[in-house]
Amino acid sequence: MSVDILKLKALATAAKRDQYDYVALNDYGMAMPPAVTLELIAEIERHRQVNAEGGSPDNNILPVVAVEGDQLVIRITTECLLHAVTCSSQWPANEAGSPISVINGPLMVKEIIHELQREDEQGTNSMHRMLDEAALAALDNGSEAVSYDDEAHP
């Protein structure tokens, strides 16, 4: 199906202004809130612009994992973090079926950090589990950094 993004954007903008404008809402059979549609269009347009310029998305927007010196550094903007968590399939929805809104972004970020650092009864936290899972995934994908032999490596 070919979608006229400019027309879709105009219809979503109209539907956002007047939630009872069913012509605008249903012209493309939208099954999501107009605000979400507009966010998706903005993201598509941003990626098209990046591709047209022959570049890659701005590292200040997307999460980045790198080694700096002897440290593993994970960077994500708070805006990206909040967007990512609210787009999760596990994020709760309101009665209308839309994702519940974060009304205090800085507080939500603080609470997420607290949960990432909160230890269970064995002293393990979400960060430990995430790193363990990534290491095991590397092994499952045939990591060349380990010896799979029974002999100990000197």
Q: Identify the weakest region by mean pLDDT among 35-44, 54-63, 68-77, 127-136.
A: 54-63
| CA gap 57, 144 in Å, rounded | 29
Question: pLDDT digit string (tens) for 34-52?
Answer: 666 666 677 677 666 666 6
pLDDT computed for residue 131 by the predictor: 92
The type of residue at 150 is D
Average pLDDT along the chain: 77
Query: By C-alpha distance, which of 128, 151, 24, 125 is closest to 72?
Result: 128
pLDDT over 60 at 58, yes or no: no
Residues 6+ apart with CB under 8 A from 30: 11, 12, 15, 37
Tokens of 38: 């507009």
Task: Identify the H or E element spanning 112.
Answer: helix 105-117
Look up tokens 């098209």; give the residue: 48
pLDDT computed for residue 1 by the predictor: 39
Higher pLDDT, 22 or 131: 131
